[in-house]
Amino acid sequence: MIVTKKYIAKFTINLPIYRYSQLELTLYGESPNPLSQGLEFGRQMFKYQIKSSDILPEVKIVTPDTFEDYRGEMWTYWEQSYDLLPNGYDFKISKFTRSRKNVLRGLHGDNFTWKHITCVSGELYLVVVDYRPESINYLKWESFLLNDRNHKSVLVPENFLNGHLCLSDECVFHYTQSYPKKYVDVEEQTTVRYDDERIKIHWPINTPILSERDL
């Protein structure tokens, strides 16, 4: 009878998702150094894919791999190595909005702000519009379905508009912003109606709930 010796190592991996989060792993292997195997597993566990959108190439879609076990899921929304922003730009502020079903926010944008957008709860329909008059894609738009299961995020450049419609009973929209100098507040932003005839966006519903600003 051949007996294969099993080696055991317990260790933790610091995760970039939350500053103080750690993942505890127990690794069983046939190598006398299962810890090295485990560290390699940890490095590969949080891979991601970044691709340009089909219609608006300046817009990027980030799709992370997830780690899932009996406790739930874990994934990385962003880390510095993603290299999403142009040189000289850094993410400076992170915000959340909670909406109920059929609430539509947008279309909003400005000349300076980059936004990294995801949905952390529920499901939303995100629309991005190229609002650069000199662009060959001026007023072209693309839609993205973001939810708390696909974990996708979208990078929206400066001079683009974005708006989103809440599809679930409730959804939480998360966006991290980058701008060169100061935060661009509502008074300095561009607001365009969701049903602007120049753009002709297809929305899943005809009568969304709007704010006074978006009317």
Query: Comparing 25 with 107, which gets the higher pLDDT?
Result: 107
Per-residue pLDDT tens for 142-164? 999 999 999 999 999 999 999 99
Percent of the chain with pLDDT over 70: 77
Q: Is the pLDDT of residue 1 over 90?
A: no
- Please state the domain extents for the chain: 7-45, 48-191
Percent of the chain with pLDDT over 90: 59
Q: Within 13 A of 5's CA, how many CA atoms are on the CB side?
A: 5
DSSP string, 102-142: TBEEEEEE-SS-EEEEEEEESEEEEEEEE--TTSTTTT-EE
Backbone angles phi, psi at 184, to 5 degrees: -90, 110
Q: Is the pLDDT of residue 34 over 60?
A: no
Q: Is the pLDDT of residue 84 over 90?
A: no
* Averaged pLDDT, 35-60: 70
Query: Comparing 129 with 6, which gets the higher pLDDT?
Result: 129
Q: Which residues are tagged catalytic? A: 108, 175
* Averaged pLDDT, 111-137: 97
How high is the pLDDT of residue 181? 84
| CATH superfamily entry for domain 48-191 | Jelly Rolls (2.60.120.10)
Q: Average per-residue pLDDT in the chain?
A: 83
Q: Which is nearest to 112 in space by CA: 60, 194, 56, 188?
A: 188
How high is the pLDDT of residue 184? 87
Residue 207 vs residues 45, 194, 204, 211: alpha-carbon distances, Å:
43, 11, 10, 13
Q: Which is nearest to 168 in space by CA: 194, 149, 154, 152?
A: 149
**Where are the extended beta strands (E) located within 131-211?**
141-147, 153-156, 160-166, 170-178, 190-191
Residues 6+ apart with CB under 8 A from 205: 102, 165
How high is the pLDDT of residue 75? 80
Per-residue pLDDT band at 199 (split at 50, 70, 90): very high
